[in-house]
């Protein structure tokens, strides 16, 4: 049975004064409601079962209840994204909650990330059919949902067409343009469509307080 992060857990991920250890942050991040507990054991080892029990007691994660036949499915922490290699148009890709009480400044940063991602796509594959489709689909994206999906898809395409080092630089550059509150949702999205090692590396730089810089991308 999968675990899902609670609203308390999501808030803890973006709290600068968090009391979570680096390991606990990674576990909470991966509790999306779509990843079975057995998969977490594969990633973190059998000790993760004790970690999950403690995190559950602290109200940061909870077990996702099984849905009886014929019942409506509960809302997950994040809507599952497309399978690797698939392109999802904006209208079909709600992936993160809209910004509540969104300030103009936060929206301006989202638009900057959108523009930068579109520019990257133009550079890495100007004649690629998938890239052209992405550009046409997301060029007018306004919501946080769509911009995060664009950034995740841009990272995946860059990984496929230009390699991991280029994708690392692109993903961190785009990540720095996004509001801090959007990073956990972005990483959740990328976990399903990009290289897990790259996502872990990006997590350390954008969410876990690493002091490393863009220069570290060459070590990926």
Mean pLDDT by 10 residues, the chain (220 residues): 84 76 82 80 87 94 66 42 44 38 65 91 85 88 87 89 87 84 80 72 67 43
**pLDDT value at residue 216:** 46
**pLDDT value at residue 50:** 94
**pLDDT value at residue 56:** 94
Distance in angstroms (rounded) separating the CA atoms of residues 15 and 154: 27
| pTM given for the model | 0.54
> Residue 135: in which H helix or E strand, if any?
helix 129-138
**pLDDT value at residue 177:** 83
**pLDDT value at residue 99:** 39
Instruction: Provide DSSP, 92-146.
Output: G---SPPPTT--HHHHHHHHHHHHHHHHHHHHH-TT-HHHHHHHHHHTT--SHHH
Q: Where are the domains positioned within the chain?
A: 3-63, 90-219
Distance in angstroms (rounded) separating the CA atoms of residues 118 and 71: 41
**pLDDT value at residue 37:** 87
Sorted by sequence, the CB contacts under 8 Å of residue 104 that are 6+ apart come out as none
Burial class (CB in 10 A: 0-12, 13-18, 19+), 154: buried
Task: Give the number of other Cβ atoms within 10 Å of residue 178's Cβ.
Answer: 21
**pLDDT value at residue 117:** 92
Of the candidates 149, 174, 150, 171, the one whose C-alpha atom is nearest the C-alpha of residue 94 is: 149
**pLDDT value at residue 16:** 66
**pLDDT value at residue 193:** 65
**pLDDT value at residue 179:** 79
Distance in angstroms (rounded) separating the CA atoms of residues 212 and 201: 10
The residue assigned the tokens 């399903």 is 192
């Amino acid at each position: 049975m999968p675990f899902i992060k609670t609203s308390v857990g999501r808030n803890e991920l973006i709290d600068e004064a968090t009391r979570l250890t680096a390991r606990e942050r990674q576990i909470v991040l991966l509790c999306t409601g779509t990843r079975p507990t057995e998969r977490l054991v594969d990633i973190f080892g059998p000790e993760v079962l004790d970690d999950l029990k403690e995190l559950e007691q602290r109200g940061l994660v909870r077990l996702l209840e099984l849905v009886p036949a014929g019942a409506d499915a509960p809302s997950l922490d994040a809507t599952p994204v497309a399978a690797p290699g698939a392109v999802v148009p904006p209208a079909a890709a709600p992936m993160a909650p809209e910004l509540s009480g969104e300030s103009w400044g936060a929206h301006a940063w989202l638009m900057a990330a959108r523009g930068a991602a579109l520019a990257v796509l133009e550079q890495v594959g100007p004649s690629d059919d998938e890239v052209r489709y992405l550009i046409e689909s997301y060029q007018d994206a306004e919501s946080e949902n769509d911009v995060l999906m664009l950034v995740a898809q841009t990272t995946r395409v860059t990984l496929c067409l230009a390699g991991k080092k280029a994708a690392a630089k692109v993903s961190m550059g785009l990540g720095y343009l996004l509001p801090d509150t959007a990073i956990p949702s972005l990483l959740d999205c990328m976990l399903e469509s990009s290289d897990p090692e790259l996502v872990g590396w990006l997590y350390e730089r954008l969410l876990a307080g690493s002091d490393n810089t863009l220069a570290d991308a060459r070590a990926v």
